[in-house]
Structure 1
Amino acid sequence: MKIFRLFLISAFFGLIFYSCNHLSYRTYEVPDSELVETPDPDYNTTLNEDYEYFVEYMFMGNRSENFGTYFNKFFSAEEAYEEAMKELESAFISSYNPKLDSLDQIPPVSSGIKEKFNKVIELGSKILQYNKDTRYFDDAVLLIGKSYYNMQEYLQAERKFEEFLSKLTASSLYDEAILLLARTKIKLRKKQDGETILRNLLAKTENNEIKSSIYEELAILSLTKKDFTAAIEQFTKSIDFTSDKDNKARKLFILGKIYSLIDISKAAGIYERVIDNTSNFDLEFYAKLNKAIITYKTGKYDIALEELEKMSRKYRDYPELKQNADFEIANIYFIKRKFDKALEKYYDVIIDYPGTKVAADSYYYLGSYYEKEKGDYFNAAINYKKSSETFPSSELAAEGLKKFNNFDKYFTLKAELSDTTKADFPTENPELEKYRKIREAKKPGSERKEQEFNFPGKEKGSGGFRNFIAFDTTENKGESGEPIQEINLPKDTSLKAGLRKDTVIDWEQRARDSLLAIERAEDSIRTAKIDKRFLLFFELAELFYFNMQINDSAKYYLNYIIENDISDLRKARATFMLALIYKADNMSEKEESLYRQIIEKYPATDVANECRRILGLELIDIKEDKTEIAYNNAMSELTKNNPERATELLKEIFALNPDNEKLPKIYYALGWIYENNLNKLDSSVKYYKLLKEKFPSSVYAISVIAKLDIIAPEKFENAPGDSLKVMRDTSVVKKDSIPGNQIIEDELTKDLIELPPGDTLMIPLPQDTIIRQNLIEQ
């Protein structure tokens, strides 16, 4: 019996020593070498909590491995993940604070946060490689997937979550992995797949925190669809399911943002609940900030201003928070039109918090002040540009860049119109730099004399703002209520006053003038310049209408084009754009009238057909304008130095029965070619006379009046055809003639007349266009 007892005692202690050695129990055979990647265990067994407790208790090796895995790898990975998430959460709160659209977006991840997430992935990967049968294996897989997700590497995250779901079905984290996979699908723009996964999980899970997260994801999806009612309902359920006060506060904050868009009266109360629930320092600040914004948006400016000033003092040691309070203080002054205080506060924000979002937004509001209050587009452009450069990811900075590009184009077009070089924009706001110097001089210890700063537009001792010149608007008002000076363009360019005196030409004297060739070249240049100027006017009208939404300036340019342009097609387009402006202003009668005007004046154009479509009229089949084609062919022959063929083509146009509006140009072209290229003055007079008799009010007829008045008609009544002949006797040369010019003899008067060589350029427009050019340049 004694021996049997000794045997039992020995067996017991032997079992203890055997169980408590440094060997580990595994579901697979372990190779002898160390640090070799272990094969996959039976995860259904290793992830069972009862199994893990048993082997830890019975086998010292398992206990040691779990202990070492936790403290050497998993604990460090989890700590790094929590630090990264804390930083990311702060950035996330501040990013979705101003704009709800950012709820389905993760803000840009800083390099510091990425470094922490990469550390998580590195440590987690070691657990996956060497510690597959520990209790931390599923946690490690999930941490790696979440790190990829938060670094916005969604493909890697999707692969890791799918790997988890395929192998670790026994894990207690399985529902969370499904939730994370659904979120990742949504980020990869597989929204329908993601939503289906969420709704299926909602029907199966019993975890209230998972349900809370599902309802939050569904609410964000509803927000992206602008379904605010559904979003509110889903966020309310999400708040009800969670028992975590900080999580509840964060969801309440988003709910407050939604109410600020659709029912601002309820938003302040929601932000109060956020303050009561949160322990997050940043979230508490932003809840107070948004409550103050709601307060001033409901007209309680003084209460909001007092609260924001308290916050500015309270958070003075936290500049990343204080700057937001200071910026909103400036906004209140701006809304109340206390521009001197607003500009000073914006300047302070820019100087105190350089390179920040609030600095960029302050530049934007400075640009808005110059644009809308002062009509000073140049300084507006400077500040909009600074806004886009200071913090490019800001929403207002993106809008500022659009505005700068518009103003840059505006000044480019203006420079082309004035035939000058566009001025470069300064790299800094000049007024801000003056203020910076004065502020520096006021610092303690500075010996510089303090200066009084006069804000832009405010004259010292005037008590008010002076009106800057508005570059382009016919209705922009100064603070006195008086219209600001308009752009200097002629409003009446009609020829009712008749020709200027300097357009009367002594024909014979001009023929002898050795500068005639230069004058003809200048005519052609002026014609091209005029066409270019009207093209630039049209571009300005498009810029004001489509890009800048300043319709009064667009109308001004369009009306000018309609009244004065030489291009019928451009007139039609300008009239159509003017009709669109009247449509936007709900002036349907004027809109329809302009459509009918286009159809009447420019019937064979695409613009006219579009007007017919709008009015419900039958469209016409627009064919090529044979008259215009023939005219262009004639001009082509003229450029090839074939004036005879050019006149033949022009005469063939009469057989095409062209519209009356085109005949004056044909008569004028024939007269001009006979005069300047073929040197047949009587034939030239013939077509000029027909032009004057048939179309006396056309600009072409007006341009030839001086010529016909100077030349004595009786000289040609009984003369044989084309009595002016080019002299073939080269010995007859005027003493003061220019080499290369032609010398002709009038057979009636026997006078010698010097003319330059035949002009092969396109026919310049009538002298009337020179008058218009002069008026435009005034």
Structure 2
Amino acid sequence: MLSRRHCLGLVLSLTSILLFTSCVYYNTFFWARKNFNQAEKKQQESLRAKDSQQDSPNPVYRGNQNPQQKPGGDFYVSPEAQTLYKNAIEKAARVLTYHPDSKWVPDALWVIGKSYFSMGDYILADLKFKELVTNHPNSKYADRAYFYMGLCQMNLEHDDEALSAFAFLETNFKKSPYLDDIFYAKGLMELRNENYSDAAGYFTQYIEKYSGDSSAMAMDNIGKCKEQLKDFWGAHKAYKQVAKYNPSKKLYFDATLASATTALASDSIIMGMNILETLGKNQSYFSKLAEIHLRTADGYYLLKKIDKADTLYKQVIAENPKTKEAAEAYYRLGLINQNDLFDLPTAKDNFAKAQTESSESEFRPLALARSAQIAKLESFQKQLQRVDSLRQMDELNSLGENEPMPPKVIQPIAKEDSTFIGPQNDGRSPASKENYLASILASANKENQTDTLLPFIGPKQDTLGGAIVSPPILVGPMLPQVNLADSSKVPSNQVPIAPIKEHLGPGDQAYDDSVRSVIMEKGIETRYLLAELYAYELNRPDSALQEYLLLVDAYPTSAYAPRALLAASQIELNGPDSTKAFELLRRLLKDYPESPQAAQAAQILQSPIDDSNNVVGLYVSAESLIYNANMPDSAIALFRYIADRFPDLAPKASFAIAWVLDQVEGVEDSSAYFAYSAVAKKYPETEFGIAAKKRLTAAPSVVTRPKPTTRDEPAQPDTTQLAALPDSTDQIEEGLSLAPPVITAPDFIYPEELLSRDLKGKVIFKIRLEHSGKVRDYEIIGPSGEHAIDSSATVTLMATEFDVSNLDLIQFDNYYQYSITFIRPKITNFFNPYLERQEQGP
């Protein structure tokens, strides 16, 4: 039996051990917290230094929190702070490892989570915050942990999960000091997502509820939102109010400069210039003079003081060589020379220097694009000079034959709107015109040594729909281009081109006439492209309008004439007087009633036209009967009408009849077979005859669907293939076309039984499509290696709808490649795709 003295000694020893152990883990956490506090302090100091030595502290959130590091700008942590954060994490982790029941565990979790957050590791930070609120929901750190969970998800661009965390905080912590900060965080989220109206609303609520050290930044963000919404005066007022909230030195400068530029943009030019003048006199911003001078030069330009703007831009270049400011100045000078002084060589030189002055300049790609525009303009003008010279020679020829001089088509173009170089009268007499023509043809022969002499008449795709809003294009993508080089297929309103005989050469009359024809026809396209360049790239609608109308008057039988009339009407519709636009549209209906552009003109004028001779409109109507009205019989009748009366589209319309019988109506008799056979026999060399032959040699088309599966028995796809098609492996090696864009698709559900395995990759399918956009049949040509994943991917595929609006009828027989990506999901408190199944039970 122990004596009383021995018992007392034992108690004292145990007490000493317990106290020693407690001191050890408290001492460990003490150093963790000390390192953490020092890291936070160093981080704030480095951020202030990075912010151009702010003259007053301006943390984004209270308590030295800085969630705007990622969404508000590039993430940055100083090396010294990073070392301290790592030390804090290491020491706090010892508390979790060796003393998991300690009262300091919540503190340790907070230190680790916040340290990870400050270093930009949002995934690890989020895990620690979740561990804190799950195991210690009543901790003093619970509300801030939920707040930072939201910030982590926001920085990871998981907005729904971020909003869920913020909502939990708002609902369960009514007195949390972080409630106001949620408005700021939501504002940043909406600003990043370009929802500027909502973002401005959140920032406004933040300022109203918490007029503190971040209000200056919130007001600056309101200015940015209004500027993006083109509310320049509202933006100016917001930027001007930033000064009321004790901003940092850098933020004050940025907001004041922005208030000046938005004043300029809102036509308050004198006010903006006064702000810039005051800012330029502030010695604190001497290093920012280049920015101030650039914006001042912009103001001079808006005041039409081109000389002063030019001088100030050149001053910026001289005083700040090889900088981003100098690159911008060169770019602005290029614009002035191109658009105001019409000095293309100087403009081209300025744009070239803007590209090389600074590799970091945002104006570098803009200058490159402008240089390309000028090069294109010069090329077009050079080609048109040659064409117009030939036209001039034709006029001289007509005079030599005592024929009346044709009316002048080419009108002078005002210098303030165009840089077009028209035909020049060089004073040559009719006696010398033969030599002049010979030189032109010789030049053409020299520039076209290969097959470029062959005419290219196929119309280029319209760029209407960019700067000018046009009605829906009525020409379906499946309509073939008419080859105007084949005179047997030339519509009546177009002029065929005589084929060039290979044995002819320069000096031969037939050869010279052929080359002349090529040059003239190429000139039609070039003039159309020049007009588009003026309209959509150089923003010079007056020049574009004149080029379009010149083309129509000079080449009324060209395929480009109705397109030019429609484009000219669009320019007039966007002008002050729409009467001229309607006149052009009526002219289009009168002169080119069978063109696809006539249907668009009729739609704009709301004037019905007789479509009986408009093959394009008829074909589009037949397609509409299939896809929109679900009237395949009526579509077949209309296709037959087209095939009987319009030889150019007869192969296409005939194939469409067979395709509708086969794929839409699904007839069980031999009518589809005979329809394909007729196409293959009557039009054997056309793409539609070849496609019909493939259908004749193919097995009957069968729509396959995945059979019902269990979790242990995956779906086995039907690998039935058309006999005429090669093996899928060969097709993949040759390269299948990618599937059309997806309209709707369900989420892929990762098999729950495989959650223990971190699998990721793709399941690759070979698919054919219905005209409804659904999958018609499929084959897995790139399996995952797991039956469960392949089965789940197949279910996802069969519920996917594709956009088939741009597919030709024969393309529905083609196979396409489509991939479904799989990756093991991250299960969180806010995301669990298996939750409903788990709640229902087995």
Q: Could you say which TM-score interval applies, normalised by the shorter chain?
A: 0.5 to 0.7
Q: Percent identity of the aligned residues?
A: 18
Cα 1:115–1:485 change in 2 (3 A) is same
Inter-partner Cα distance in structure 2 for 1:20 and 1:104: 42
Inter-partner Cα distance in structure 1 for 2:69 and 2:37: 30
Question: Which residue of 140, 148, 157 corresponds with 2:112?
Answer: 140
Inter-partner Cα distance in structure 1 for 2:148 and 2:324: 31
Inter-partner Cα distance in structure 1 for 2:601 and 2:415: 32
Cross-structure match for 1:324: 291
Cross-structure match for 2:214: 247
Matched, 1:126 2:86: no
Question: Which residue of 275, 281, 286 corresponds with 2:254?
Answer: 286
Paired letter, 1:370: N
Contact 2:36 2:85 in 1 (8 A): no
Cross-structure match for 2:28: 65
Matched, 1:562 2:552: yes
Cα 1:9–1:243 change in 2 (3 A) is farther
Paired letter, 2:421: I
Paired letter, 2:587: Q
Cα 1:290–1:108 change in 2 (3 A) is closer
Contact 1:558 1:575 in 2 (8 A): yes
- Specify the SS of the correspondent of 1:148: coil
Question: Which residue of 488, 512, 525 corresponds with 2:422?
Answer: 488
Inter-partner Cα distance in structure 2 for 1:10 and 1:527: 119
CA offsets per residue over residues 539-592 of structure 1, 9 Å max, x none? 111222222331112122212221223852122222222222222226444334
- Specify the SS of the correspondent of 1:561: helix
Contact 2:33 2:88 in 1 (8 A): no
Matched, 1:551 2:541: yes
Cα 1:127–1:521 change in 2 (3 A) is farther
Cross-structure match for 1:670: none
Q: How does 1:607-622 map to 2 (within 5 A)?
A: 607-614=597-604, 615-619=607-611, 620-622=614-616
Inter-partner Cα distance in structure 1 for 2:559 and 2:243: 64
CA offsets per residue over residues 402-452 of structure 1, 9 Å max, x none? 4444334323434555689xxxxxxxxxxxxxxxxxxxxxxxxxxxxxxxx
Question: Which residue of 368, 376, 397 corresponds with 1:409?
Answer: 376
Inter-partner Cα distance in structure 2 for 1:67 and 1:473: 86
Matched, 1:367 2:359: no
Q: How does 1:427-442 map to 2 (within 5 A)?
A: none
Inter-partner Cα distance in structure 2 for 1:588 and 1:272: 41
Inter-partner Cα distance in structure 2 for 1:272 and 1:610: 49
Q: Can you give the 5+ residue segments of structure 2 that lack an aligned partner in the other structure?
A: 55-67, 388-410, 437-503, 617-641, 651-842
Matched, 1:571 2:561: yes
Matched, 1:312 2:285: no
Distance apart, 1:61 and its partner CA: 0.8
Matched, 1:178 2:140: no
Inter-partner Cα distance in structure 2 for 1:597 and 1:301: 44
Inter-partner Cα distance in structure 1 for 2:300 and 2:530: 34
When the two chains are superposed, the root-mean-square deviation of aligned CA atoms in Å is 4.9
Matched, 1:213 2:147: no
Inter-partner Cα distance in structure 2 for 1:524 and 1:107: 64
Greater Cα shift, 585-594 or 7-16? 7-16
Distance apart, 1:238 and its partner CA: 0.7
Inter-partner Cα distance in structure 2 for 1:298 and 1:571: 41
Inter-partner Cα distance in structure 2 for 1:543 and 1:20: 84
CA offsets per residue over residues 133-177 of structure 1, 9 Å max, x none? 55343222233134336xxxx767766665665566455444344
Q: How does 1:618-657 map to 2 (within 5 A)?
A: 618-619=610-611, 620-622=614-616, 623=642
Cross-structure match for 1:474: 413
Inter-partner Cα distance in structure 1 for 2:176 and 2:325: 39
Q: How does 1:345-360 map to 2 (within 5 A)?
A: 345-354=312-321, 356-360=323-327
Q: How does 1:50-89 map to 2 (within 5 A)?
A: 59-71=22-34, 73-75=35-37, 77-79=39-41, 81-82=43-44, 85-86=47-48
Q: How does 1:150-299 map to 2 (within 5 A)?
A: 169=137, 171-186=139-154, 190-206=158-174, 209-220=177-188, 231-242=199-210, 244=212, 246-258=213-225, 274-278=242-246, 280-293=248-261
Cα 1:344–1:596 change in 2 (3 A) is closer
TM-score for both structures, normalised by structure 1: 0.53
CA offsets per residue over residues 344-366 of structure 1, 9 Å max, x none? 33233334445555444333322
Cross-structure match for 1:27: none
Cross-structure match for 1:509: none
- Specify the SS of the correspondent of 2:214: helix
TM-score for both structures, normalised by structure 2: 0.50
Matched, 1:605 2:595: yes
Contact 2:531 2:547 in 1 (8 A): yes
Query: Quick one: higher RCO (CA 8 Å, sep 6+), 1 or 2?
Result: 1
Cross-structure match for 1:695: none
Cross-structure match for 2:496: none
Paired letter, 2:280: S
CA offsets per residue over residues 712-741 of structure 1, 9 Å max, x none? xxxxxxxxxxxxxxxxxxxxxxxxxxxxxx
Inter-partner Cα distance in structure 2 for 1:473 and 1:9: 117
CA offsets per residue over residues 679-723 of structure 1, 9 Å max, x none? xxxxxxxxxxxxxxxxxxxxxxxxxxxxxxxxxxxxxxxxxxxxx
Distance apart, 1:205 and its partner CA: 3.1
Contact 1:211 1:241 in 2 (8 A): no
Distance apart, 1:243 and its partner CA: 5.8
Q: How many residues align?
A: 503
- Specify the SS of the correspondent of 1:487: coil
Inter-partner Cα distance in structure 2 for 1:355 and 1:108: 25
